[in-house]
Structure 1
Amino acid sequence: MVRLIGADAVAEAGYDVVEASSADEALTILQGAEEVHILFSDIRMPGTMDGLQLARIVHDRWPSIRIVLTSGDTFLQDRDVPDDGRFLAKPYRVDVLQRTITELAS
């Protein structure tokens, strides 16, 4: 449900959204994707790795992809997110998420 809210907010801001249910699925999608500009991920995810590990891999493999991480129980500073990414603590406001995505996309 939380993923749906975030995906809807990003789509409402005018961006195409591809959802993944785990970090493993996200990596599979990214390997076959032609053009991805931003990774928006929760830190707590099912699968073999969490969102922070996913962000590090994405940063290493696809350095042009900007990163936004979120969590309700793990708190980071923006400087802790790879690639000068951003961290949004939950609950975040939809307008803040949309503004953050827009800033990173430009």
Structure 2
Amino acid sequence: MKFSSTIKVTGMKFSKGKMDNGTEFDSTKVYVETELDSSKDSAMGTACAEYGLGKSDEYQKYKHLADSLPFMAIAEMEIVTNGTKQKTIVHSLKPIEPAKPSGQGVKNVAA
């Protein structure tokens, strides 16, 4: 199931290399602020959840945003399953530009 969601990205990291047994690995993880399950009244607030975001080259696309963390983005996501477990994959991120000030502040009118 594919969907779009506005998310708050709090961090990213990539891993690329080869394990001792010769198996290669190459991935990017994105950390997203996610609401805790408060349905049982045993949790409140948010935590960061880890989602896959493709290979290490994906990290390079967002590296310039390091000073902007955390940042809001529109994420194209997909929920997939192997028949037993399900996971959510992030396919792409489109950072949302913060609103620029209009230059017109609220005027304080004294009585």
Which TM-score band applies after superposition, normalised by the shorter structure?
A: under 0.3
TM-score scaled to structure 1, two decimals? 0.21
TM-score scaled to structure 2, two decimals? 0.20
